[in-house]
Amino acid sequence: MENQVVVRFAPSPTGYLHIGGARTAIFNWLYARQNKGKFILRIEDTDAQRSTKDSIQGIVDGLTWLGLGWDEGPNFQSAYIKDHLAAAQQLVDAGHAYKCFCTKEDLDRKREAAVAAKQTYLYDGTCRELTPDQVAENEAKDLSFTIRLKVPRDGGSLVFEDAVYGRVEKQFRDLEDFIIVRSNGNPLYILSNAVDDIRDRVTHIIRGQDGLANTPKQILLYQALGAPLPVFAHMSLTLDPKKAKISKRRHGELVAIHYYRAQGFLPWALVNFLVLLGWATTDSREIFSEEELIAAFALNGISRANSVFNIRPEDTRFSTDPKALNINAHYLRTMDIEDLADQVKPFLEAEGLWHLAYEGEGRRKFLDTLDLLRERYHLLTDFATLGRAWFSDDFEMDAKAWEKHLASHPELHAPLAGLGEKILAMDDYTIKTVEALLRDMLKTLGVKPGILINAVRMALTGQPKGPDFMKAMIVMGQQRVGERLRKLPAQF
């Protein structure tokens, strides 16, 4: 299609899909969807030693889970190496590139001399002006060679406009004739990347700020190959709270998409959070539906300032960014309850807490339970961990809270058991009738309401905090509430 917007996400399969890669994919996906364009998934797998099938599958699974469907691919860069080498030969034939026979020892010696003289080392172009006869003579000797692109030597500069960073200028004197094909015959990434983008007619290259430094070289390749330039848009970096760049090596699984999936994040909630790392609307809005975000996204909303991903490895419960948790909690609390049930089910199944009744006669009670609990939870895993007492009679007690609210109040044990008996005998189990029972009990015992409420909550859920007390009593159900209170003294 003429003038169609074409973008691509081109990860190297050297590990799992991480936060930075996912963020890049999201920005590209949004731009394609907004402009009714094409989103290409290209796997840049030319580094055979580091690329793995597991990593490729991890990238595909991560994008699929996030809901970032692609229109073409996955294409594999390794399938096009012949095209990359053909482009290199085309550049040599056209006089835009040349074969360099300088040995590693030669280059190391020159580099060391530059360092000793406290100068920046750039290749001096020794082989740039070799005649065809000299090249043929070296080839006849079977000398190994690299291929270098010729950088203009007219003293000028290369200027381009980045959609995020604005005008960028690079002096030619600060660029060396750079290698595009190694001495082993393999094309370098910078060549392969440009050739693939030209072939795929990519119109917009949206990527991390760390790609900005290579952009002048890529533009020179585009110009030498006679291809129209795409629009470049470089996203600011994502840093940790100590201002270190987010990376797999430094931060491990805390920056892996599969970690957030396993922790119980909703896919769209994570997309919503990640897009806010370095992008914003003029009204600083933070919650978007898919349709709203596609409509709102714009390259001019990408910030030049680095964003901070506030991971907290020391926090055993909430180890990730509080904003991410709050956004996920928002979606848990506002999504359709049937959709929430579908999302919660696998987490309950994994903990042996799923019951067939939840699909049948117990469906209404199950949904009521989820609706009550979601007001306090941040993650899908919370339903199977913090909420275990709602789905099983086998649940742990918070030891400190147990001691404070129950063990240290032996005078409550028998009365609570009696309360359980009364609840089991009730014909009309409602908030009104249960409140009346509790008021009578308070008068009889002469204790403060908080003491009784905390004791009952501990006996029922094993936790000192939870949803609205009276709603919890009703949703948990007459039988379960009555039995747990009745059996309480046996636990001491």
Identify the pLDDT of residue 136.
98
Give the pLDDT score at 392.
Answer: 97
Of the candidate ranges 118-132, 137-151, 285-299, 313-327, the one whose mean pLDDT is the lowest: 313-327
Contact 180, 190 (CB under 8 A): yes
β-strand 307-308 against 204-208: which pairing, if any?
Answer: unpaired
Q: What is the mean pLDDT of residues 235-251?
A: 90
Residue 150 is a catalytic residue: no
Q: What is the mean pLDDT of the chain?
A: 95
**First and final CA of the chain: distance in angstroms?**
75
Pick the range with the lowest mean pLDDT from 236-245, 283-292, 310-319, 393-402: 310-319
pLDDT for position 1: 62
Q: Environment class of residue 470 by beta-carbon count within 10 Å: exposed (0-12), middle (13-18) or buried (19+)?
A: middle
The pLDDT of residue 492 is above 90: no
Query: Around Cβ 4, how many Cβ atoms within 10 Å?
Result: 12
For the chain, what is the radius of gyration of the CA atoms? 32
- Contacts by 161-167 with C-beta closer than 8 Å and gap 24+? 162/212, 162/215, 162/232, 162/233, 162/234, 163/204, 163/231, 163/232, 163/233, 163/299, 163/300, 163/302, 164/233, 164/234, 164/235, 164/236, 164/299, 164/302, 164/303, 164/304, 165/209, 165/212, 165/234, 165/304
- Separation between Cα atoms, residue 418 and residue 424, nearest integer Å: 10
Over residues 203-212, the mean pLDDT reads 96
Query: What digits encode the pLDDT tens for the residues 188-199?
Result: 999 999 999 999
Residue pLDDT, tens place only, 296-349: 999 999 999 999 999 988 887 778 999 999 999 999 999 999 999 999 999 999
Residue 313: predicted pLDDT: 82
Q: Which residues pair with 391 in a beta bridge?
A: none
Sign of CA dihedral 129, 134, 136, 140: negative
The CB density around residue 219, as the number of other CB atoms within 10 Å, is: 19
* Residues in Cβ contact with 59 at an 8 Å cutoff, skipping those fewer than 6 apart: 11, 13, 16, 17, 21, 43
The full set of domains in the chain, from first to last, is: 85-181 (3.90.800.10), 399-491 (1.10.10.350)
Active-site residue identified among 110, 248, 365, 404: 248
C-alpha angle 223/229/232, rounded to 5°?
125
Q: How confident is the model at residue 3 (pLDDT cuts 50, 70, 90)?
A: confident
Burial 416-443 (b: 16+ CB within 10 A, else e): bbebbeebeeeeebeeeebeeebeebee
Q: What is the residue whose two structure tokens read 């989103």?
A: 39
- What's this model's pTM, rounded to 2 decimal places? 0.93
Tell me, what's the pLDDT at 152? 97
Residue 120 pLDDT: 92
Distance CA 322, CA 217 (A): 40
Give the number of residues written for the chain. 492
Q: How far apart are CA 364 and CA 352, in angstroms?
A: 20
pLDDT above 80 (res 227): yes
Q: What's residue 318's pLDDT?
A: 78
Nearest CA to 365 among 429, 419, 425, 422?
429
Nearest to 447 by CA among 399, 402, 406, 400: 406
Confidence of residue 232 (pLDDT cuts 50, 70, 90): very high
Helix, strand, coil percentages (3-state) for the chain, rounded to 5, are: 50, 10, 35
Contact 259, 309 (CB under 8 A): no
- Find the mean pLDDT for residues 134-158: 96
In 2-71, beta strands by DSSP E: 6-9, 38-43
* Band of pLDDT at residue 15, cut at 50, 70 and 90: confident
pLDDT in tens, 36-75: 999 999 999 987 777 888 899 999 999 999 999 999 999 9
